[in-house]
Structure 1
């Protein structure tokens, strides 16, 4: 029986979370093609009107699931930055993104498709802006080869390249080594971090 979208906020919140959880599971397990409205509603035990009520349409639910997935990368950057500065945040965010590609390749492909289609997760822009702001403190001390904004963009481009490489290669140990090497070389090329002890 369909759970009616109206009612107490607790029940309403639970139904919304169930839809989001079902979408994330299906996107991760079978990709966008398998995460249909019928499959999501069946798993969440609701009807299509409930999905429309909370997320507007299937694409809105998919985007919400993608946004929630990307929050892990943004959070890893934030925690690393708070603990040891912007470069550590970059490393933590990068490694979390790479781990995500290894752990959930189908969902990662969905995220990458959104990025390629010009509709990245909603937190990407604000995360890149935050990275640029954090790196500007290093830039102000003369240790960066490009502007903080350009550096943040190049780090993002390198991470996306590493993700694409990982999704197309089965040798996970070798891939992980190459991803770390790409991260290190990118940071070394952009920032004279040895001089600042980072």
Structure 2
């Protein structure tokens, strides 16, 4: 720990270090103050109480996670980015087993640190769904999409914390697929997409009457490439 850091910064660093060392055990006020080399009144002055300190630690972690997520999800494949974002959120929750339920499964005052984190999460999600709506991919109102996605992702993380599992396991994958089916009405995953394209190819009788021979030929060519996974 940096000796000349401010008491507030030392408390944040102490809390983050203790949570990494013992992710399933909440540090006590005494431990936090001892690690930060401050007195309890200093903690109360800067954060109100221990819960305020821990919530602020997670807010910093969430801000860092959100920045990484924005940098990683720019492939141009909006549905693929949504699926990858689900996995990143679940992994973030599993990496913070003590603090995640406090933030995402609790009710917080609007001006609290925990409330700021959940508002940030909802705002980031709304931005993603706004893009999907503009692309014509979202089948439900944005408000409903935000609520359903937050409910599903939070429920998934809490279930995995109780039962065990990881962000790429069957529980997470099935919940993600069910959610994407509800939001976008589209299969999730290359194999399922290719099957859907093949099913569409099987219904091409009379396509030339609607599009014309040249356009229908191009459509069959493109669908054939998609069905082959190219």
Please give the TM-score of this superposition, normalised by the length of structure 1.
Answer: 0.73
**Bigger shift: 90-99 or 181-190?**
90-99
Q: Distance in 2 between matches of 1:53 and 1:12?
A: 16
**What displacement does 1:125 show?**
1.6
Q: Give unpaired runs (5+ residues) of structure 1.
A: 4-10
Match of 2:44 in 1: 52
1:143 matches 2:137 = yes
* Matched residues, number: 181
Pick the aligned partner of 1:179 from 169, 172, 192: 172
1:100 matches 2:89 = no
**What displacement does 1:46 show?**
1.8
1:129 matches 2:138 = no
CA contact (8 A) 1:19 1:51 kept: yes
Higher relative contact order (CA 8 A, sep 6+): 1
Q: Distance in 2 between matches of 1:12 and 1:53?
A: 16
After superposition, what is the alpha-carbon deviation per residue over 1:70-127, rounded to whole angstroms, capped at 9, x for unaligned? 224423432244343654443343222322344443x2xx321333321245232233
CA contact (8 A) 1:77 1:89 kept: no
Match of 1:116 in 2: 105
Please give the TM-score of this superposition, normalised by the length of structure 2.
Answer: 0.64
CA contact (8 A) 1:23 1:62 kept: yes
Q: CA, structure 1 residues 83+23, in 2 after alignment: closer, same or farther (shift >3 Å)?
A: same
Aligned Cα root-mean-square deviation (Å): 3.1
Q: Structure 1 residue runs of 4+, over 6 Å off?
A: none
Q: Distance in 1 between matches of 2:115 and 2:58?
A: 6
Structure 1 or 2: more helix by fraction = 1
